[in-house]
Chains A and B, each alone.
Chain A
Amino acid sequence: MENKAPTVSNVFTAGLWRENPILRLLLGMCPTLAVTTAVKPALTMGLSVIFVLLCSNIVVSLMRKLLKPHLRILMFTLAIATFVTIADLFLKAFQPEMSAVLGPYVPLIIVNCIIICRAEACASKNGLFVSVIDAIGMGIGFTVVLCILGGIRELLATGMIFDIPVMWKGFMPLSAMRMPVGAFITLGLILGLVNMLTAKKS
């Protein structure tokens, strides 16, 4: 991506698979593990991250010529903190239930490494259009992995998806999946699977 001029599809698909924030770059682990007890909080978290990532990428891209190297990170964080406050107030007003479930993990988006990483690696070097595409691709990649993880954990912990029972009769719910153990081990196995698939392809 650094050498050749980035094309739209190239930038977009990078976030989805090749440079997927969770599976490849191992960024943003804290919300990934914490909010994936079920699909719904995972989806809410993913959408909040997409919003913040998009807005921060736009702002950073617009002010990239004004940035001073040593104040860069501080400026990024301030811009991100502003948008996270907006997202948090929005969730509190329109999704109070989800806001209560996510709790402090919404403000913790501020220190989510994905957003700072994209501001640093993409938005502060590229124009507005590329930055927007990059934010959408990365955001969707993040959300999809979050939902997969949430789906697996919800299915095994309660036997339900979106509160609809889908497992067979007599299924024993594994309540450990809802606990931190389930998060770590599920993500570890998913990463292992991804490594295996990549090795097979090449």
Chain B
Amino acid sequence: MDKIYVLLMAFISIVIVNNLVFTKFLGICPYLGVSGRIDMAFGMGMAVTFVVTLAGTLTWLIDHFVLMPYGLEVTRYICYILVIAGAVQLVEMYLRKFFPPLYESFGIFLPLITTNCAILGLCLFINLWGIDNFIETVVLSFGAGIGFTLAICIMAGIRENLKTADVPDSLKGAPITLITAGLLTLAFMGFAGMIK
């Protein structure tokens, strides 16, 4: 029971309290770039969730069973980025073959995910936090994806309403998006310190 409790807390922690977008600034590029419409934002969030779960788990396995036993930690970053690029490529091919409609709807987002900092960031943070439990790694990776989806969907919802708002000319576009993001972060700061 204790174990499930710990995992549940880890999940809530990464989704809400330590949300990658709001507290670590990871994945800001797609967060600002594709949050124009809510359906696109959701598609991006789902694609990221899928890849981040895969990449987080794979890099943890490689780190613990290949790099650490052989003392190859120097090549860690190169291995991580290769795994991520490979995972994205694999997902892309798999979707194109077996789920063409889903592939069509993801469109350009899939290749873009390789350079999404949230993915590499999560792999690095798992390494930094010294997580040595496989199940916890899977839960954290999945939670990170869900947290990203949550953030980008909230943002898209706000931006859809912002279109009708009267924004000063010079603040239109990116500046007002950033300021909105700042206020959203302020709201999420209320969760800070709730867990761990």
What residues make up the interface of A, taking CB atoms closer than 8 Å to B?
Answer: 26-27, 29-30, 33-34, 73-74, 77-78, 81-82, 84-85, 88-89, 103-104, 107-108, 110-113, 116, 176, 179-185, 187-189, 191-193, 195-196, 199
Contact = CB atoms under 8 A, between A and B. Distances in A.
A50 B179 CA distance: 28
Contact of A30 (B117, B170, B186): B117
Contacts of A189: 175, 179
A108 B117 contact: yes
Nearest to B23: A180
Interface string B3-28: 00000000000000000001111111
Given A29-B29, A33-B25, A184 B179 contact: yes
Contacts of A82: 78
Nearest to A80: B81
A37 to B, nearest CB: 11
Contacts of A77: 81, 85, 114-115
Contact of A107 (B77, B169, B178): B77
Interface stretch (B35-43, B57-65, B93-101, B119-127): B119-127
A187 B74 contact: no
Contacts of A88: 77
Given A34-B24, A85-B78, A181 B169 contact: no
A85 B170 contact: no
Most A CB contacts (10 A, CB to CB) among B27, B116, B125, B175 go to B175
Nearest to A24: B174
Given A29-B29, A181-B185, A196-B170, A188 B179 contact: yes
Interface of B: 22-29, 32, 74-75, 77-78, 80-82, 85, 111, 114-117, 119-121, 124-125, 128, 168-179, 181-183, 185-186, 189
B29 A107 contact: no
A78 B174 CA distance: 31
Nearest to B89: A74
Nearest to A112: B117
A193 B183 CA distance: 19
B155 to A, nearest CB: 11
A184 B182 contact: yes
Nearest to A26: B174
Contacts of B74: 85, 89
Q: Which 6 pairs between the two chains have the least Cβ-Cβ distance?
A: A184-B182, A188-B178, A188-B179, A196-B170, A185-B182, A104-B124
Nearest to A36: B25
Contacts of B82: 78
B67 to A, nearest CB: 13
Contacts of B23: 180
A116 B115 contact: yes
Given A81-B77, A108-B120, A188-B179, 20 more contacts: A26-B174, A29-B32, A30-B29, A30-B121, A33-B25, A78-B81, A78-B82, A107-B77, A110-B120, A111-B120, A113-B115, A180-B23, A180-B189, A181-B182, A181-B186, A183-B182, A188-B171, A189-B179, A193-B170, A195-B172
A78 B85 CA distance: 10
